[in-house]
Structure 1
Amino acid sequence: MGKLLEVKNLQVQFDIFGAHVQAVRGVTFELNKGETLAIVGESGSGKSVTSKALMGLIPNPPGKIKEGQIVFEGKDLVANTEKDWMKLRGKDISMIFQDPMTALNPTMKVGKQIMEGLILHQHMSKSQARERAIDLLRRVGIPNPEKRVEEYPHQFSGGMRQRVVIAIALACNPKVLIADEPTTALDVTIQAQILDLMRDIQKDTGTAIILITHDLGVVANMAQRVAVMYGGKIVETGTLDEIFYNPKHPYTWGLLSSMPKLHAKTDKLQAIPGTPPDLSNPPKGCPFAPRCPYAMKVCVDQMPAYTHLSETQKAACWLQDERAPKVEPPKTIGVGGE
């Protein structure tokens, strides 16, 4: 497929009230043309900060990219000026934000909001941009688009607003689409429609998608590869099958164990005890060690390096060291099982 985007040792820090919050700590991954990569983890793990860094949306101050590279089509974007980012955003890299109501301007008609990017990046006339906006609304499944292009966001339901946000994100046929929790606020029926829509659009346009989510059910429906993030770091990566059926990191085990099971004999969900680490004072060892039932002294004292488990899977966990005791994953991680 070929690499489209490479993130290398990305480090993002926020200086707030005298504290230095290390929100992203050495994140490295790549995105291939036409694929969907899911980045999963609990709230506070650094997923959304990573996605905003890819769009040049880290507010400075208080935030800054301390170190690392974001290489898109051979160019490092970290050195971009705001003018450079404005040329790139919406045109080559676009984003579906988490809350469609706050992502849309309530004082502007939805058609005008779609037209903005087309006029700026595609140099269309207003009449051309309006026709394209109508076509995009039709494409994302909004009925009677000729009429609705003149309406305001409050006149749309939550699912329809999310479709408008997708239309804006897709207006200029971006090469990379970042979807930050695109279905969180939607009911399951609308959620399924939005995911089907994103799959169809990807099939038609070849757009690569970075899916930011904590919902493993969404991941199972959308992704080809998965990166598991915790404490500002990626702790495991692999193909969808590797992460769901042969995970190696205890945090991944915990996430999979917390998924509802169709044929479970109890209605009680598994939970991961404890809370994520304080990233203003991050641990020197594995960030998951305080919550990990298998933690050893070395886990607390020293950050584990990645162990390459296959050509596509790697995990940062001392349990994968050849000197570590053999630990069997819990039986509760079976996907869809009991």
Structure 2
Amino acid sequence: MQSNETILKVNHLKINFNTYAGTVKAIRDVSFDLKKGETLAIVGESGSGKTVTTRSIMGLLANNAVVEGGSIQFHGKNVLKMSQKDLEGLRGAKIAQIFQDPMTSLDPTMRIGRQIAEPLMVHRGVKKEKAMSQALEMMKLVGITDAENRINDYPHQFSGGMRQRIVIAIALINYPEILIADEPTTALDVTIQAQILNLMRELQDKISTSIIFITHDLGVVAGMADRVAVMYAGKIVEYGTVDEIFYNPKHPYTWGLLSSMPTLDTHSEELASIPGTPPDLLDPPKGDAFAPRNPYALKIDTERQPPFFKVSNTHYAATWLLHPDAPQVTPPKQIIERQKKFAEMQREAAAKNQHHQIEEEEEQQ
């Protein structure tokens, strides 16, 4: 159940990587927050900075990474200033992560029961017998069939979908406050993908964990997230509730992502693509990084980075198209259809609220 308590706050985060070719400005002033019990999806193409952002929350940056500025506040404590010992106490206990490929996350030489139980023994000092008993319960909770007999099996004896369930069990055994899921369903087929997403939703309801869900697939986000942050070239370019991003997007990059996503109504010739490639972050552009790929780009886009413009109390987008003096542009056909649906949803919600108010007033009389 989502609450209004903010447990994580990322402020003006800037991260560079020192390479032989020069300094890569990977994260360029990223800010967002996470509330207790909510799911925040971070979406964008490969290389947009999604994984680097979330690895910094765990204190898992590479040796050549340099935090140029900003802070990551977890319950008011700056993760970036924590000692190695404090970080080790944080990882797996209060903040856990599910990685993309379960086979690289599991020790092939260790039985899975022991792997699930290990975080309990390391972080909470639970004795082996009790930890194994709790591992068995967690195996059942994540839907591993015949758990009593399979607790002593090795990772290679499980299917890809079952291995991902084991990784989720390891991440959740300590009931962490934040679960970071880094493309957790990419390596799975569509049917297993749906099962894993349903499982994560069910477990979130049971243990009130907040989830940061990283994906390049907007289709996965629709039924999973409460809020969405769209990333491009190391910056968040739009964020809002899942309905606002899906049905009333304002940034041309979000338009491109949504237009390239097939739906049941899509005809094969209608599917769009975003032209060009993301910019080289060794030398980021002076203006809007998306401008060279943006068919709606204005002259100012090549000269100045756009600030965030407010669309609603929960919806902001960094595009000069929202400036009062900007010319009116017509979004792609798919986006216009989405905006019509959004307006219809808002009308229905308003009518429903009005109906409830009338009923309450009648009851009071």
How high is the TM-score relative to the length of structure 2?
Answer: 0.90
Corresponding residue of 2:42 = 39
Q: How many Å separate the matches in 2 of 1:34 and 1:217?
A: 21
Number of residue pairs matched by the alignment: 337
Deviations 1:289-322 (A, max 9, x none): 1100011121011111111111100011111111
Paired residue secondary structure (2:312): coil
Q: How many Å separate the matches in 2 of 1:136 and 1:130?
A: 10
What letter is aligned with 1:133?
A: A
Paired residue secondary structure (2:223): helix
From 265, 270, 273, give the equivalent of 1:271.
273
Corresponding residue of 1:19 = 22
Corresponding residue of 2:347 = none
Is 1:28 the counterpart of 2:31? The answer is: yes
1:2 deviates by 1.4
Q: How many Å separate the matches in 2 of 1:82 and 1:315?
A: 36
Q: How many Å separate the matches in 2 of 1:186 and 1:89?
A: 26
From 190, 193, 200, give the equivalent of 1:191.
193
Corresponding residue of 2:178 = 176
Q: Which moved more, 1:103-112 or 1:244-253?
A: 103-112
Corresponding residue of 1:84 = 86
Q: How many Å separate the matches in 2 of 1:154 and 1:267?
A: 42
Deviations 1:265-305 (A, max 9, x none): 33563110000111111111111011000111210111111
Corresponding residue of 1:123 = 125
The 5-angstrom pairing of residues 78-117 of structure 1 reads 78-117=80-119
Q: How many Å separate the matches in 2 of 1:16 and 1:132?
A: 44
Deviations 1:142-164 (A, max 9, x none): 01112212111111110001000
Is 1:6 the counterpart of 2:9? The answer is: yes
Is 1:149 the counterpart of 2:151? The answer is: yes
CA 267–186 in structure 1, closer or farther in 2 if over 3 Å, else same: farther
1:23 deviates by 1.0
CA 216–198 in structure 1, closer or farther in 2 if over 3 Å, else same: same
Q: How many Å separate the matches in 2 of 1:71 and 1:14?
A: 22
What letter is aligned with 1:40?
A: V
1:327 deviates by 1.2
Corresponding residue of 1:204 = 206
1:9 deviates by 0.6
Is 1:294 the counterpart of 2:292? The answer is: no
From 53, 69, 78, give the equivalent of 1:50.
53
Q: Which moved more, 1:146-155 or 1:162-171?
A: 146-155
Cα RMSD between the aligned structures?
A: 1.5
Deviations 1:205-226 (A, max 9, x none): 1101000001111100100100
Deviations 1:9-59 (A, max 9, x none): 111111111411111111000001100000000011000111111111101
Corresponding residue of 2:62 = 59
Q: How many Å separate the matches in 2 of 1:10 and 1:25?
A: 7
What letter is aligned with 2:314?
A: T
Structure with higher Rg: it is 2
Paired residue secondary structure (1:172): coil
Corresponding residue of 1:234 = 236
Q: Which moved more, 1:141-150 or 1:202-211?
A: 141-150
What letter is aligned with 1:317?
A: T
What letter is aligned with 2:51?
A: S
Q: Which moved more, 1:186-195 or 1:268-277?
A: 268-277
Structure 2: state its 5+ residue gaps. 341-365
From 274, 283, 300, give the equivalent of 2:285.
283
From 229, 245, 263, give the equivalent of 2:247.
245
Paired residue secondary structure (2:327): coil
Paired residue secondary structure (1:222): coil
Q: Which moved more, 1:104-113 or 1:216-225?
A: 104-113
Q: How many Å separate the matches in 2 of 1:269 and 1:207?
A: 36
Deviations 1:159-206 (A, max 9, x none): 001000000000100000010001101011101110110000000111
Paired residue secondary structure (2:87): helix
Paired residue secondary structure (2:313): coil
Paired residue secondary structure (1:211): strand
Q: How many Å separate the matches in 2 of 1:256 and 1:249?
A: 11
